[in-house]
Amino acid sequence: KVFLLIPLAYILPLFLQVRGIYFAEPLADITAAIFCILLFLANFKKILGKASMEK
């Protein structure tokens, strides 16, 4: 999340002035959550595939 928050905190104010700083935190949270969900789903499918092959 920090890897997203710091660049967003510097970039967004260039376009949105002071509001960009306030939008950086939720945007970093949402982006990190989506990324984590995608990684979880990809790995979960692999784990389920291995478990079903063992039976």
Question: CB burial class (10 A; 0-12, 13-18, 19+) of residue 21?
Answer: middle
- Which residues constitute the domain of residue 44? 2-54
> How many domains are there within the chain?
1
pLDDT at residue 50, rounded to an integer:
72
What are the residues whose beta carbons fall under 8 Å from the beta carbon of 20, sequence distance 6 or more? Answer: 9, 11, 12, 13, 14
Rounded percentage of the chain residues whose pLDDT exceeds 90? 73
Query: What does the pLDDT look like over 35-52, one tens digit per residue?
Result: 999 999 999 888 777 766
